[in-house]
Amino acid sequence: MSPETAKSQETKAKLLEGALRTLTEQGIAKTSARTVAAAAGVNQALVFYHFGSVDELLVAACHYGAERAVAPYRERFAEVTSLSELLTVGRQIHEEERAGGHVALLGQLLAGAQTHDTLGPATAAGLELWISEIEKVLTRVLADTPFGEFTDPAGLARAVAASFVGIELYEGVDAAGATAALDALEQLGALVAALEDLGPVAQRAVRHHLRRTGRR
């Protein structure tokens, strides 16, 4: 890699980090070439040189931030063995992401998607990284349970992700309510775990009931 290319990559990384920091600390309304460049410690002309526009920089920053956020948790997701454990891990991730300012960032991206056409697809693509990991876990842990043949892991993964996104945003106005919602999800996971622990005869009865219900 030539010195010029290395410097270019370094500048782009600074701008991506600066964009994420500006969104988190100042909000979408105050995110501009000037504020991002100031946060990055570079000339604002470099925003347009490297990304063409502020919107394109925000799109790139969204992808960059999402991949950086998901990557550390992939190994943890791979170790999950039950739905209740997935919900517990989800709660741990929620706490870590909130402490790192990522919940505030997500809120700004969702707000920005209402006025910046390119941010909607970019934010959805970022969320898809989380959804993909959740779907892998659900496919694996539900396969040998009575629910395996009656659930859609892809749809359920989106429902789980949407629940956590909603709780993260709701927490800003009702922290106690958000905690109660997380508690309720964990209770639901415990109920599913209890069904998973049923013996073969009871599990066959559950499958039979679900098949009969599904035919109605």
Look at residue 34 in the predicted model and tell me its pLDDT: 96
> Any residues with CB less than 8 A from the CB of 181 and at least 6 apart, and which?
163, 167, 170
H or E element, residue 92: helix 83-99
Look at residue 9 in the predicted model and tell me its pLDDT: 92
Q: Is there a contact between 181 and 192 (Cβ–Cβ < 8 Å)?
A: no
User: What single DSSP character describes residue 28?
Assistant: G
Q: What angle do CA 107, 108, 112 make, to 5 degrees?
A: 120
Q: Is there a contact between 12 and 50 (Cβ–Cβ < 8 Å)?
A: yes
At residue 164 the predicted structure's pLDDT band, cuts being 50, 70 and 90, is: confident
What is the Cα–Cα distance from 134 to 162, expressed in whole angstroms?
A: 12
Is-above-0.95 flag for pTM?
no
pLDDT in tens, 31-67: 999 999 999 999 999 999 999 999 999 999 999 999 9
Look at residue 205 in the predicted model and tell me its pLDDT: 63
| Whether pLDDT at 78 is above 60 | yes
Phi and psi angles of residue 145, each rounded to the nearest 5 degrees, phi first: -110, 170
What is the Cα–Cα distance from 128 to 70, expressed in whole angstroms?
A: 10
At residue 147 the predicted structure's pLDDT band, cuts being 50, 70 and 90, is: low
> Any residues with CB less than 8 A from the CB of 203 and at least 6 apart, and which?
145, 146, 195
Count other Cβ atoms within 10 Å, centred on residue 70.
18
Q: Is there a contact between 150 and 214 (Cβ–Cβ < 8 Å)?
A: yes
Q: How is 125-190 classified by DSSP, letter by letter?
A: HHHHHHHHHHHHHHHHHHTTSTTGGG--HHHHHHHHHHHHHHHHHHTTT-HHHHHHHHHHHHHHHH
